[in-house]
Amino acid sequence: MEVPERLGWWRDRAGGVAWLESLPRLAEECAEHWSLRLGEPFGQGHVSLTVPVALSDGGQAVLKLNFPEEESASEADALIHWRGEGAVRLLELDRERNALLIERADPGTSLWEVGDDEEAILIAASVMARLWLRPPPDGHRFRLLAGEAERWTAQPRSDWEALGRPFEQRLVDAAAAAAGELAGSLAKLAVCHQDLQGSNVLKAQREPWLAIDPKPIVAEPAFDVASLLRDRRWSIDRAIIQRRLDLLAAELDLERDRMQGWGVVHALHWGVGSDKIEPDLVECARLLAA
């Protein structure tokens, strides 16, 4: 099996080279353990190895191998919690190998293929609403927004300082203020996807659209729209974001100001790292904070 080149950036992470080299072996071990016939890896993913597989009964599924890190550790738990309502089903799990066997969304066309922005936003909203149906389970191990937000008030500022203040301070101040204020008044909590945007919503048959690749966190629903607000960020402007806020507030009965505030916080958290910034995410924070 040839590992897609899009995963090559893991070589710069601690343990990344060893993980990349282990992927063919891990895939073969999973194939033997679960009686799978492996296809060629999907080429578009850049975080995990995903491989179409045939099951012993002739059905189709996807084998997913995650890098061993905190962000992906609870993906399987979220899929179990959602029970296939709005998201692909988890068929098998091997925590030791960080391997998931998941339902294959067929035909698997991404929401990015829907050209009308309003239609795409409403489709995504309908998927989100299904994911939020059940309260977080007792004794869960998901990360908590209340705790993460406290860290997010300090980390972007520290990284921004270390990088030489590459953009205006008002964005850092706005994100810190929003995180502090919103985290202290969280509404009803749900197991949130955190990265529900066009590439992670696929056309399917069991349900019209299904979510994939969650980065789960227990949060209020107003937080979970952050990635969607900046979806297709290469082609959005302030008017598009404002229209999305209007649509989501009406469709999901969410407070506009809370969605907007979390949007600033999340864009800056994902856009400012210890060694670089993502200019398009910083621009999204700028548009949301305007």
275 CB contacts (<8 Å, ≥6 apart)? 163
Region 80-108 average pLDDT: 97
Residue 149 sits in the same domain as residue 88:
no
pLDDT over 90, % of the chain: 87
Average pLDDT over residues 261-276: 93
Residues 254 and 123 in one domain: yes
| pLDDT value of position 90 | 98
User: Number of structural domains, the chain?
Assistant: 2
Query: What average pLDDT does the segment 15-29 reach?
Result: 96
Q: Which of 159, 195, 213, 231 is catalytic?
A: 195
Question: Is 231 marked active-site?
Answer: no
Summarize pLDDT for 117-172 with one digit per residue, the tens.
Answer: 999 999 999 999 999 999 999 999 999 999 999 888 788 889 999 999 999 999 99
- 265 and 198 share one domain: yes
For all residues of the chain together, what is the average pLDDT? 95
- For residue 72, pLDDT over 90 is answered with no
Quote the domain boundaries for residue 188: 111-289
Is residue 178 within 8 A of residue 186, CB to CB? The reply is no
**Least confident stretch, 31-35, 69-73, 107-111:** 69-73
- CATH number of residue 29's parent domain: 3.30.200.20
pLDDT band (50, 70, 90) for residue 187: confident
Residues 157 and 97 in one domain: no
Q: What is the pLDDT of residue 271?
A: 93
- Domain CATH code at residue 234: 3.90.1200.10
